[in-house]
Chains A and B, each alone.
Chain A
Amino acid sequence: MKIKKNLQVRSVGGENIILLQGVNGVDTTKIVSLNETSLWLWNRFADREFDLEQVSGALVEEFGIDPKLAGKDARAWMDMMEQNRLIER
């Protein structure tokens, strides 16, 4: 899977957000806020294919955490990305 193109993380006043614009002229803007780890993953996997294992491995490598915890966090991150339609397969 891959992070969708044309999505931009905006950092304003300590917040890192992605604005998902509504369609048909109706302002149904959705805001996705990324914490620091989430933002780090976003930047790490922007413009490239990835899977659960790679995300989990990246967390272990960067933060030196237990692989089990990393797997859980990686799943949570990918679920969040999927629910908000930020990634495509």
Chain B
Amino acid sequence: MTRSVEMFLALLRLSLNDTAADDHPEFAGADDKDWEDVFAISARQGTVMLAYGGLQHLPPAIQPPRKLKLRWCANVVKGSDRYDGYRLAIHKLSRFFSEHGFDFLILKGITMSRLYPVPYYREGGDIDVYMFDRAKQADRLVSSQGIDVTCSIAKHSAFMFEGRMVENHYTFFDTDIRFRREARFYTRMEEMLAGMFTVASCPVVPDAANARELPPQAAALYLIGHTFRHFCCMDANVRQLCDWVVFFGAHRDQIDNRLLEAQIEELGIGRFVSAVNALCAARFGFEPRFMIPGSGDENEARFILKTIMRYRVQPRVHIPMVMPLRYIVSRNSIYNRYFGKIGLSEFLRPELMSYFSYLMKRPERGEKSKTRRDPAA
């Protein structure tokens, strides 16, 4: 890991734990370029504001250059405004569904933000909702208001509400995946989740009208599955690790760790979960209470961090086919690691089909896409 990555992770640790450290070896001798790199990494990893929180715990002598700090601060102010807008949109959405007699869940998003030391430090994105068994009815209701509802994938529909993208989930996970072994994995996880909650058992989200959230036990499994999915698609980022730390830290007394471990073992992702725990413990001071990592998990933790950080480094030269091939090979190595031995034909054919299907559907065909999308989605 480079010095800037070490600095970046140290800032997040300070921010997540909201405590000052006695010494700061990661920051000793850092120059302006290192700090610019830290800022850039924070932006790529969706943690600009959280990292800024870490700066508050550093003594003046090792603060970043003033100009950069002000730029950072401006991003935090804008993020705070975005969060206010996000909350307002959720409130209006909740009221809208409430007036029409719908119960619904908010997945992650604000339910995760409010567990952070400073809620707006968690960068929000889309609003993910789950309407229990009334997803299609909700789509029709939204359409009847003159709002366009698109259904491009099986997992959820999408529409804009108060300037925010809302994803109305039919299922928690994408089970319509060409790679069958993975599809079976998420189908099983979906079945597990379905038996873990009822409307009445889902707590109401404070300050969000009638919106509810998953109970901690179900939310724990969902978070693990969600993180695993992003990691396998190679679009996980460090913010998801922070979510892990914050969520499991906040709900440590509300989760039945034995049940969770049994589910993780049945799903066969114990190695992954243990490695994420090891990584979060080593980097962010997290104290795992399930799938306790052993000494052998250090290498696994390094693999996860390396995969997350490497993916975000954009090549300067675009070489046709190299990136997709690299992507497929990397994904194959991830699946081999966590799903057991996978033959090329079992993996490669659906992967290539997904990739070409993605190319065909891509809205800007022929143009270079600046943001990487999940070809399997």
Contact = CB atoms under 8 A, between A and B. Distances in A.
A14 interface: yes
Nearest to A32: B70
Contacts of A80: none
A43 to B, nearest CB: 18
A12 B70 contact: no
Interface secondary structure of B, over-half rule = helix
A15 B70 contact: yes
Determine the interface band of chain A, counting residues with CB < 8 A from chain B.
Answer: 10 to 19
A13 B74 CA distance: 11
A37 interface: no
A29 B55 contact: no
A13 B55 contact: yes
A19 B78 contact: yes
Interface in A33-59: 33
Contact of B52 (A13, A17, A29): A13
B70 A31 contact: yes
Interface string A7-39: 000101111010100000000010101000000
Nearest to B66: A33
Contacts of A13: 52-53, 55-56, 73, 76
B95 interface: no
A29 B79 CA distance: 14
Contacts of A14: 56
A41 B343 CA distance: 71
Nearest to B70: A31
Interface string B66-98: 000111011011101000000000000000000
B70 A17 contact: yes
A19 B56 contact: no
B32 to A, nearest CB: 18
A12 B71 contact: no
Given A19-B77, A31-B74, A33-B70, 10 more contacts: A10-B77, A12-B52, A12-B76, A12-B77, A13-B55, A13-B56, A13-B73, A15-B73, A17-B77, A19-B74
* 8 nearest A-B residue pairs (beta carbon): A10-B77, A15-B73, A31-B74, A13-B56, A31-B70, A12-B76, A12-B73, A33-B70
Interface of B: 52-53, 55-56, 69-71, 73-74, 76-78, 80
13 contacts: A10-B80, A12-B76, A12-B80, A13-B55, A15-B69, A15-B70, A15-B73, A17-B74, A19-B78, A31-B70, A31-B71, A31-B73, A31-B74
